[in-house]
Amino acid sequence: MREFGYQRVLDVPGAVAQLAADPETRCLGGGTNLVDLMKTGVERPGRLLDVTRLPLGEIERTADGGLHIGATVTNSDLAAHPEVRENYPALAQAVLAGASGQLRNMATVGGNLLQRTRCGYFADVSQPCNKRVPGSGCPAVEGEHHNHAILGASAHCVAVHPSDMGVALAAFDAVVTYETADGPGRLPLTDFYLPVGETPHLETSLPSGALITGVTLPPARLAANSRYRKVRERASYAFAIGSVAAALEVRDGAVHGARLAFGAVASRPWRARAAEQVLTGAPATAETFAAAADAELAAAEALPHNGYKVTLIRNLVVSVLTELCEEAT
């Protein structure tokens, strides 16, 4: 493990100045992903800037009735917050579906967004991996890929993003806020993660040296009728092999509004806009829900050992939307 410096920072301008001054400096949230990767040599920062004491630990109502969640809010506090549980229940459920109680007590919102893939080749420095060492190859395409991507991947990388929280945030049109030495910025979560293409090592459109300050959720009445469902290979303490975040509003038997995002199918939380288009205005029936899933999954490109995800996601969409429909009517 490379030797590294450690510094705690107490104010945002100070943090941004330090990040700008030294490109080898990395933010340290709960450390639950970064420190693990440092131990295995995947990450080798020269200095860690502990951001957990920054004044970014609040969850507050915005002027338009949405919610702003500070970057250092822990996953546990996010899931327990009354406004989140009441107005964005899928978000609370997604966070609680991730990791363990101890990890959620440490892990932060900013760190969760930037956690790295769980692809086994990425984590093993003895293996080639285009994401870790650009141009070295992607052994997962011919090798172990049963939990890899079916949407939006490329021959250069087929890894999936592991975050549960991010899937609910994608469904709810979340916007990531950040600060750099040049001033503040905002990125819709759906633009925050870059398409894989030929550059899987470039994961986000966050400017270099940026400090994530939080995530803003716009007000959305239909988010109150929402759900997150995660399928995993054991009942707890495991990453998703497929997940769905959904919100539904039904009026007079028809879908008035819908939000849908999938997890563990792509390099980023996957907003299912083609499915939403099929849903909007259509009869709120299981047939419509299946047709919506099929519209989104028409673009799926499965590898030899992950085609099960197409059926898995289709079934999840139908079951979650059927439940939300029953509760809405």
Binding at 139: pick from ligand FAD, ligand SF4, none (beta carbon under 5-8 Å per type): ligand SF4
Q: Least distance to ligand SF4 from the beta carbon of 165, Å?
A: 20
**What tokens does 182 get?**
């040049």
Mark 138-157 with x for binding to ligand SF4 (rule: CB under 6 A) and - for no binding. Answer: xxx-------x--------x
Q: Least distance to ligand SF4 from the beta carbon of 162, Å?
A: 11
Q: Which helix (H) or strand (E) holds 110?
A: helix 109-113
Please give the DSSP secondary-structure letter assigned to residue 288.
Answer: H
Q: Which of 242, 247, 214 is closest to 88 using CA atoms?
A: 247
What residues are paired with 157 via a beta bridge? Answer: 154
- Total residues contacting ligand SF4 by CB under 6 A comes to 15
Gap between the Cα atoms of 130 and 329, Å rounded: 49
Q: Which is nearer to ligand SF4, 15 or 159 (CB)?
A: 159
Q: Which is nearer to ligand FAD, 31 or 218 (CB)?
A: 31
Q: Are 205 and 103 in contact (CB under 8 A)?
A: no
**What tokens does 70 get?**
């500070």
| Residue 49 backbone phi and psi in degrees, to 5 | -110, 105
Q: Which is nearer to ligand SF4, 92 or 129 (CB)?
A: 129
Binding at 239: pick from ligand FAD, ligand SF4, none (beta carbon under 5-8 Å per type): ligand FAD
Binding at 34: pick from ligand SF4, ligand FAD, none (beta carbon under 5-8 Å per type): ligand FAD
Give the sheet arrangement for strand 47-50, strand by strand. Answer: 5-8, 47-50, 25-28
Q: Least distance to ligand SF4 from the beta carbon of 143, Å?
A: 8
Does residue 131 bind ligand SF4 (CB under 6 A)?
A: yes
Q: Which is nearer to ligand SF4, 96 or 157 (CB)?
A: 157
Q: Least distance to ligand SF4 from the beta carbon of 111, Å?
A: 19
Gap between the Cα atoms of 295 and 289, Å rounded: 10
Q: Which of 69, 68, 78, 67 is closest to 106 using CA atoms?
A: 78
**What tokens does 67 get?**
């919610």
Q: Which residues bind ligand FAD (CB under 6 A)?
A: 26-34, 36, 51, 71, 98-99, 103, 106-108, 110-112, 114-115, 162-165, 211-212, 239
Q: Which is nearer to ligand SF4, 51 or 138 (CB)?
A: 138
Please identify which residue in 87, 112, 130, 288 interacts with ligand SF4, judged by CB under 6 A. 130
**What tokens does 192 get?**
């925050």
Binding at 226: pick from ligand FAD, ligand SF4, none (beta carbon under 5-8 Å per type): none
Q: Which one-letter amino acid corresponds to residue 20?
A: A
- Residue 198: CA atoms inside 13 Å, Cβ hemisphere, count? 1
Interacting residues with ligand SF4 (CB under 6 A)? 117, 119, 121-122, 129-131, 138-140, 148, 157-159, 200
